[in-house]
Amino acid sequence: MFLYNLTLQKATGIVTAINGNFSGGSKQEIVVGRGKVLDLVCPDDSGKLQTLVSVEIFGAIRSLAQFRFTGSKKDYIVVGSDSGRIVILEYNKLTNSFDKIHQETFGKSGCRRIVPGQYLAVDPKGRAVMVGACEKQKLVYVMNRDTAARLTISSPLEAHKSHTITYSICGVDCGFDNPIFAAIEMDYSDSDQDSTGLSAAEAQKHLTFYELDLGLNHVSRKWSEPIDNGANMLITVPGGGDGPSGVLVCAENFVIYKNQGHPDVRALIPRREDLPAERGVIMVSVARHKSLSFILVQSEYGDIFKVTLEHGNEGVTELKIKYFDTIPVTCSMCVLKPGYLFAASEFGDHALYQFQSTGDEPDAESSSTTMMELETEEGFQPVFFKPRRLKNLIRVDQVQSLMPIMDMKVYNIFEEETPQIFSLCGQGPRSSLRILRPGLGISEMATSPLPGVPNGVWTIKKNVNDEFDAYIVVSFASATLVLSIGETVEEVSDSGFLDTAASLAVSLIGDDSLMQVHPSGIRHIREDGRINEWRTPGKKTITKVGYNRLQAVIALSGGELIYFEVDMTGQLMEVEKHEMPGDVACLDIAPVPEGRRRSRFLAVGSYDNTIRILSLDPDDCFQVLSLQSVFSPPESLLFLEIQASTGGEDGADHPASLFLNAGLQNGVLFRTVVDMVTGQLSDSRSRFLGLRAPKLFPVNVRGRHAMLCLSSRSWLGYMYQGNFFLTPLTCGILEFAATFSSDNCAEGIVAVAAEALKVFTIDKLGETFHQTVFPLRYTPRKFVLQPKRKLLVMIESDQRAFKAEELEAAQNECFHALQDDNGNLHMEEVSENSELSDEQYGYPKAEVKNWVSCIRVLDPRTGETMSCLELEDNEAALSICIVNFNDKDYGTLLAVGTAKSLQFLPKRSFDAAYIHIYRFVDGGKLELLHKTQVDGVPLALSHFQGRLLAGIGNVLRLYDLGKKRLLRKCENKLFPSTIISLHCYRDRIYVGDIQESFHYCKYRRDENQLYIFADDFYPRWLTASQHVDFDTMAGADKFGNVFFVRLPQDVSDEIEEDPTGGKIKWEQCKLNGAPNKVEEIVQFHVGDVVSSLQKASLTPGGVECILYGTVMGSLGAFLPFSSRDDVDFFSHLEMHMRQEHPPLCGRDHMAYRSAYFPVKDVIDGDLCEQFPTLPMDLQKKIAEDLERSPAEILKKLEEIRNKII
């Protein structure tokens, strides 16, 4: 079996983000590292974040830094990754890509303890970069410019120190003196030797300054001083002329200012009122901008503090920490120039905030003071505060993120053409159920009902230079309605259009006149209001029309074509006639090329299943240039010019090409390339779009030509980052559509849906899935489908959290306290605070043993929670399944495995564990039938032959339903550690162990015995599993690998044929292993922890593939290849891509995909899909080696993608 790996949704979570002027303009951009993807993001004029470029780098991005030379206007990007190399990138605005400037190898690849890449620090003046490892190694590279102003990089200078752990590094701003880097370090050599524990207790973190002597080209330890042992982060303090220089050390509960020869200035971090006393506060992210005179730091609870330093001639005199605002915990924050704050959330959606104020007002809100004031008090008395609503920030945009995907299943609950992906996402209060549908989301701006069923809609400008449309014209069976677009959209009758007949086409023709084609003629309305009418000869009627800005062709009943052209004076003149062999099914004229008077190509579709390209040149008018036969009569034709672009947004430097698109009656969209000179058709591709013949409409998307295809689903064909995408839109069935542009909607679409007119816009291009989000209360763990009523039953649980009632009680108490103290004075504040959304502020932290959990029944159609059962006494729901016992009294039951006061550290322990059995009553409610105590944590439950199979710790047990409790029927205690997944098929049970991969078991009913007959060679730490077929399982491990294991055919047959079921052999197993071993047939490193696997087909009638969802919020698929030829083709393409296009950040592709186990039988589609981003000559070279043309390769890539989604 060969598989094709394709990422459907790139990671949505963020590891780290930096901001700067990467394109060199005045605009600020953000570079976002998403694990294995590097993105450039930029807020547009309306404050919406747009992704300009997104590159898969086939490595792990661990740190990012930006630097610029003095006097330069452009920032470079330094990437710290797992490649054992330092990589310096530059954003190239022209080609819209990242260019690799330098790549220097310094160590082994992989995320290792002593190989640098974990930390990056730059000199604020851009003269040097330090790259550090967790332990020992730190390297300094000196950056310089050569005579041509190109960036040069020195060989590395070592700043190593053995037996030393590094916690953080940063550059120290010391103007143009020698660059200095600061590091938090701890020497562990003594504590490793001393068994008394004395030296371990005395082990001290040090702040060390490393000075790079630019003259001597040498790095030396300049200064080292002990600091607080809770130190975890360093922040550069502006120096030179802008500030006091030095660093801020963020430690647990403290922020300390330190500099060489300067006394420490220390301040306590204010604490939340509800924070338990034993918990500390550490800072996790920082935002600083030159234009801001202060530094923003965020704590692990989400509170942002403003840190200000007061300094004079004697250095820093005061350090202030003031509560600023609270936003969800971030991994990185970036302050952008026009007053934006980009917050890259650790989990859940990211956001863009705008500063309302800088928190300068001297209100009584918790502001912590300097050491001097602290000393007057007894001990360290922190300042307390209560999180409040956003005061200084306001949210302007949100970027959806699936991170982390906890569970994912594919069902077609809504009975749509394609199934929906149900995914449980997020953590704690930011949890959600997200329903993903392949396609782009639309945002509807207006809907208005129409008096009848329309048969066409158009929008027109009055003049070719107008920015906005003037009219919307809607045609009905025997009338035409004209709506003028202004402040409001209203009907007008003075437009000059004939309103007593249906319209076949309405358009701007020439520079400033309008054309209306109706069945009995053409009305040409000049700018000054003169109307010229052309009437059809005899009793013939116009059936079809094709037009562009200067030309029009009509087809009369019987098959006669008449060609009109706008002449120099603006008159619409009849030019030529032509008789076609039969009725014309559809017509289209290619758009007029820039600077020409006419387009040469007319496409005519006929009912004899052909499409002809005719010439419109005066010398060979109506000459057939080429002919294409198709499977079914064409219904609609559209020429689409895909523009050559050497820059701007979609980057790739393709030559302009003209595509002819045809919607066929059998629902297929047929696309072929039209030769711009000869009109020859070549390179055809087809795709099934829906059950109705697709109608094609030209639209504009981001200023580029795009195509809307309306079948039983609506599709948008558009260019995005160099690739052509044909993506469904998540809107209902549309009949007709046209572009729409007015002053409050620059790039919209007006469409007819049944008897209504809809105006909508398409927001996020490049998105594969459209999300519908329903918020949940706690971290969701698993869910199942209740088959009868199609409800989702999910379990949510959180450690270290308070129950909703407890929180409410605490809040009420607080409310009363305030009332008692202050009477009515603070009522406003109280009501304000009680409405704080947990989503924004997080739940308060409780003790480790505290658990909250609930079982929720949710109707996915409405998002309504039918019932939500909160568990009591720190009981946490951990596993769930639907079970039908042989005893038919109760019907479908729900089994939930729970544990009380579960703790993972130092060892897994719990007070009690249970299996609950619930009954569904009144449809959505749950009623507890009984609760059975078990002796281990039940992490896996499954229905099996009318009984309940449970993985309880390392015991596999079969239960039957009793009146008061579950009854043990059979068990097997031979599993190595903990059972976390169960899959059943016939009498086989596929057991997933938390650290020992799969075990294949058999249940013998006659002997009532469970036994293991096969297991895996490798210890694999399973995180997800999926049953593929009778002998095959797919699994994913904690380290980011996906693998398939299969029981060899002969072994499988032997076991099935053996009357004892392999039992005798089983009894002879050796070394505690099973007698048979499964074989690894597929192996692949995804590079992200896969949290769920699912076998499904996302296209109607498509092949089933294995979908995977990951912790970083990405979705991908493994598609099995159906032919050997395809395997050969793609493996060769992959090989060439590996050679010609090594990954951006220096990791070897093959090594990355084989990071833990050698990659086996998987072709990486993500690499193959980078083919269109290669320069044209390289594309040609690879294509030649593959004995194909670049276009054929693109077609292949498109085809295989279409098979998956």
Partner 1 sequence: MDIKASDRFNINSQLEHLQAKYVGTGHADLNRFEWAVNIQRDSYASYVGHYPMLAYFAIAENESIGRERYNFMQKMLLPCGLPPEREDD
Give contact residues for partner 1 (rule: CB under 8 A). 13, 15, 35, 60, 62, 82, 111-114, 117-118, 133-136, 162, 165, 167, 186, 188, 191-197, 200, 203, 232, 282-285, 300-301, 329, 331, 346-347, 403-404, 406, 427-428, 779, 798-801, 904, 1023, 1038-1040, 1088-1089, 1091, 1110-1112
Report the distance separating Cα 395 and Cα 325, nearest Å: 12
Please report how close the Cβ of residue 223 comes to partner 1 at its closest, in angstroms: 23
Report the distance separating Cα 589 and Cα 616, nearest Å: 9
CA torsion angle for 923, 927, 932, 935 (degrees, to 10)? Answer: 70
**Is the preceding peptide bond at 906 cis, omega within 30 degrees of 0?**
yes
Helix (H, G, I), strand (E, B) or coil at 677: coil
CA–CA distance from 401 to each of 36, 92, 405 (Å)? Answer: 16, 27, 10
| φ/ψ of residue 414, rounded to 5 | -85, 0
CA atoms within 13 A on the CB side of 826: 14
Element (H, E) at 192: helix 189-193
Please classify residue 873 by burial: count the beta carbons closer than 10 Å to its beta carbon, then call 0-12 exposed, 13-18 middle and 19+ buried.
Answer: exposed
203/1150 with CB nearer partner 1: 203
In terms of DSSP bridges, do strands 1009-1015 and 1076-1077 run parallel, antiparallel, or are they unpaired? parallel
16/599 with CB nearer partner 1: 16
300/583 with CB nearer partner 1: 300
Could you tell me which residues come within 8 angstroms of residue 253 by beta carbon, excluding any fewer than 6 positions away?
A: 230, 268, 269, 280, 281, 380, 382
Please report how close the Cβ of residue 392 comes to partner 1 at its closest, in angstroms: 22
Neighbours of 1178 (CB within 10 A): 16
- 927: its two tokens: 């009623």
601/778 with CB nearer partner 1: 778
Please report how close the Cβ of residue 404 comes to partner 1 at its closest, in angstroms: 6
In terms of DSSP bridges, do strands 851-859 and 271-272 run parallel, antiparallel, or are they unpaired? unpaired
Helix (H, G, I), strand (E, B) or coil at 172: strand
Please report how close the Cβ of residue 977 comes to partner 1 at its closest, in angstroms: 16
Which one-letter DSSP state was computed for residue 237?
P
Report the distance separating Cα 756 and Cα 713, nearest Å: 17
255/669 with CB nearer partner 1: 255
CA torsion angle for 602, 603, 607, 609 (degrees, to 10)? Answer: 140
Please report how close the Cβ of residue 995 comes to partner 1 at its closest, in angstroms: 13
15/174 with CB nearer partner 1: 15
162/1139 with CB nearer partner 1: 162
Say which amino acid occupies 584. Answer: V
Helix (H, G, I), strand (E, B) or coil at 878: strand
Residues 145 and 95 sit within 8 Å (Cβ to Cβ): no
36/671 with CB nearer partner 1: 36
Report the distance separating Cα 992 and Cα 981, nearest Å: 5
- 114: its two tokens: 């002593």
Helix (H, G, I), strand (E, B) or coil at 1133: helix
Residues 812 and 866 sit within 8 Å (Cβ to Cβ): no
Please report how close the Cβ of residue 992 comes to partner 1 at its closest, in angstroms: 17
Please report how close the Cβ of residue 20 comes to partner 1 at its closest, in angstroms: 22
Identify which of 571, 576, 675, 569 has the alpha carbon closest to the alpha carbon of residue 623: 576
1054/1148 with CB nearer partner 1: 1148
- 20: its two tokens: 């700067």
195/744 with CB nearer partner 1: 195
CA–CA distance from 63 to each of 333, 540, 683, 1112 (Å)? Answer: 14, 72, 44, 16
Identify which of 720, 732, 733, 722 has the alpha carbon closest to the alpha carbon of residue 767: 720
Report the distance separating Cα 963 and Cα 357, nearest Å: 65
Residues 238 and 196 sit within 8 Å (Cβ to Cβ): no
Residues paired with 286 in a beta bridge: 297
Please report how close the Cβ of residue 110 comes to partner 1 at its closest, in angstroms: 8
Please report how close the Cβ of residue 598 comes to partner 1 at its closest, in angstroms: 57
Which one-letter DSSP state was computed for residue 656?
P
664/1107 with CB nearer partner 1: 1107
Please report how close the Cβ of residue 401 comes to partner 1 at its closest, in angstroms: 12
* Cα end-to-end span (Å), the chain: 20
- 738: its two tokens: 């046209």
Please report how close the Cβ of residue 1147 comes to partner 1 at its closest, in angstroms: 13
Please report how close the Cβ of residue 510 comes to partner 1 at its closest, in angstroms: 59
Please report how close the Cβ of residue 276 comes to partner 1 at its closest, in angstroms: 14
- 655: its two tokens: 């030559």
Please report how close the Cβ of residue 300 comes to partner 1 at its closest, in angstroms: 4
Please report how close the Cβ of residue 787 comes to partner 1 at its closest, in angstroms: 29
Please report how close the Cβ of residue 427 comes to partner 1 at its closest, in angstroms: 5
Please report how close the Cβ of residue 1089 comes to partner 1 at its closest, in angstroms: 4
Helix axis angle for 1190-1204 and 1124-1140, nearest 10°, is: 120
- 153: its two tokens: 């990089």
846/1117 with CB nearer partner 1: 846
124/953 with CB nearer partner 1: 953
Report the distance separating Cα 853 and Cα 868, nearest Å: 10
Q: What is the 3-state secondary structure (H, E, C) of 427-459?
A: CHHHCEEEEEEECECEEEEEEEECCCCCCEEEE
Please report how close the Cβ of residue 299 comes to partner 1 at its closest, in angstroms: 9
